[in-house]
Homo-oligomer: A and B are copies of this chain.
Amino acid sequence: MEVYWREGPASVGVNEICRRAGIAKPGLYREFGGEAGLKAAVLDHYWNAIIRPSFLALTAERPFAEVLDQTLAWLTSDRGLPPGCLFARMRTSVSHLDPALSNQLESLREEMRGTYADWFARALGRDEGNPAISPTLAGYLLDTQLMTVQMQMVVGEPPTLVREQARLALVCLLPS
């Protein structure tokens, strides 16, 4: 996961993975069945270990604008983790990916959009969101914009610039 996350799933092959992990190649094939299985397992682990815990912040009963700001600050700060998001990196190269992994990505993305939509729906209930925007659309927008943030972080854009842009793009979600 570390290597895929830091350098991108397309930039490192199974030979290199085995070399860096200090394991034998037959061992990897016994354990994961092949490169596709390894990537599926990595994506699964990334989702459970990195993405899902980050959803907890969205369920806290704090003001929507505040949580949004903290999220942007978190994504654009040096977290001691590899920059960017393995999930986002996989999605950018989804075209030449295994169909099974592609489906897995799409289903996880749906779960992500749903989580964002729920978050925004609760904000709407407290009059902390723009009522002209449906939770579903807000889910799409948040997914797209936060994904963009992480892709910009991967290519090394200045964090403050990334944060400013995202704030502008998402200010439409706040009540006018």
Contact = CB atoms under 8 A, between A and B. Distances in A.
Number of copies: 2
Contacts of A96: 8, 10-11
Interface residues of A, number: 29
Contacts of A24: none
A94 interface: yes
Contacts of A71: none
Nearest to A168: B172
A137 B164 contact: yes
A9 to B, nearest CB: 12
Query: Could you say which of A94, A140, A173 has the most chain B C-beta atoms within 10 Å of its C-beta?
Result: A140
A140 B165 contact: yes
Interface stretch (A37-45, A74-82, A119-127, A144-152): A144-152
A161 interface: yes
A60 interface: no
Contacts of A137: 164-165, 168
B168 A133 contact: yes
A36 interface: no
Interface of A: 8, 10-11, 92-96, 133, 137, 140-141, 144-145, 148, 151-152, 154-155, 161, 164-165, 168-173, 176
Instruction: Please name the 7 residue pairs, one residue from A and one from B, whose CB atoms are nearest each other, closest first.
Output: A169-B169, A168-B172, A141-B165, A171-B172, A92-B92, A148-B148, A141-B168
